[in-house]
Amino acid sequence: MKRITVLPSQKHIEIFYVKPGDINGDNFIIKGSEFHHAKNVLRMKTGDQIIVVDGNGNEYIGMIKEMQYDRIVGSIFKTLLKPREPVLEVSIIQGLIKGNRFKYFVEKATEIGVRKIIPVYTERSLSMDSVKDIKHWENTAISAMKQSGRSVLPEISEVCSFKESLEKVEKCDIKLIAHSKFKSGFKSLESSVIPEVRKHKSVIKTAAVAVGPEGGFTADEIKYAKTNNFFPINLGERRLRSETASIVALTILLFSEGDL
């Protein structure tokens, strides 16, 4: 794991998000809310060292070159590729849940290392009318990416049907679905599921985990997932909230591959 060395002239180097289009050669531009935070909250000035990430896996270490009325222009003197990023790319199919609980899931899953989030409407999900604008979730992911020191911004797809969600992860090397009535727990991941997958794939690069809403998936949904090569997994004896189950599943999966 690569680590950033904080230069003696500044005790703490802030991390800011810039869109890939705002990286131009050895220069970057910070605009919008990120500019406001840097100028008006942190009172940053010309000459301050800074880190920016573009959400595509690039981390740029640089310095503020110019403070304009609506933007910061900076120069880049070092680029790192995917520092602190898991090699295993995990997609989570998450059943829609109430209120701010989906936002909480997005925040924590981003911090831990999720690569893609697929909000899914299932037979036991909330009404589609309760879904917030995806931009709201994306802003949460951006904040969590910066806070955790990541350089990849997880993709958050449009809300889709259960069938469509399985199609989105069709090519994943390993696919799991949370099923409370399945007898084998997550211990079977290393003892049976992963060895079975490695009979066909020596290296597991991508994984998908499906977690239902309150009440879980229906029997028909579990059956359909199994016909699409999903392994059912029990997350333990204690009943977990939907968002907690997703966080637990993501954590154990990354840990099992030595990628946490």
Q: By three-state DSSP, how is residue 236 classified?
A: coil
Residue 249 has φ and ψ, to the nearest 5°, of -60, -45
Per-residue confidence (pLDDT) for residue 58, from 0 to 100: 96
Q: Which residues of 157-174 are buried (b: 16+ CB within 10 A; e: fewer)?
A: bebbebeebbebbeebbb
- 124-154: pLDDT as tens digits: 886 665 566 788 899 999 999 999 999 999 9
15-81 maps to CATH 2.40.240.20: yes
As a whole number of angstroms, the distance between CA 134 and CA 162 comes to 18
Cβ pair 196, 188 in contact under 8 A: no
| Close Cβ partners of 33 (under 8 Å, ≥ 6 residues apart) | none
Per-residue confidence (pLDDT) for residue 49, from 0 to 100: 93
Task: Work out the mean pLDDT of the chain and round it to a whole number.
Answer: 87
89-256 maps to CATH 3.40.1280.10: yes
The per-residue DSSP string of 85-98 comes to: --SSEEEEEEE--S
pTM: 0.87
- 13-69: pLDDT as tens digits: 679 999 999 999 999 999 999 999 999 999 999 999 999 999 999 999 999 999 999
Per-residue confidence (pLDDT) for residue 78, from 0 to 100: 95
Q: By three-state DSSP, how is residue 226 classified?
A: helix
As a whole number of angstroms, the distance between CA 87 and CA 90 comes to 9
Cβ pair 247, 100 in contact under 8 A: no
- 186-214: pLDDT as tens digits: 555 665 666 766 766 778 899 999 999 98
Cβ pair 208, 172 in contact under 8 A: yes
Residue 174 has pLDDT above 80, yes or no: yes
- 76-91: pLDDT as tens digits: 999 999 999 999 999 9
Q: By three-state DSSP, how is residue 76 classified?
A: strand
The alpha carbons of the chain give a radius of gyration, in whole angstroms, of 20
Task: Assign 5 a pLDDT band (cuts: 50, 70, 90).
Answer: very low
**Which residue reads 């840990």 in tokens?**
255
**Which residue reads 């992963």 in tokens?**
194
| 55 closest CA partner among 103, 87, 23, 32 | 23
Fold match between domain 15-81 and domain 89-256: no
Residue 9 has pLDDT above 60, yes or no: no
Domain residue limits, the chain: 15-81, 89-256
Crossing angle, helix 101-112 and helix 242-256, to 10 degrees? 10
Per-residue confidence (pLDDT) for residue 217, from 0 to 100: 92
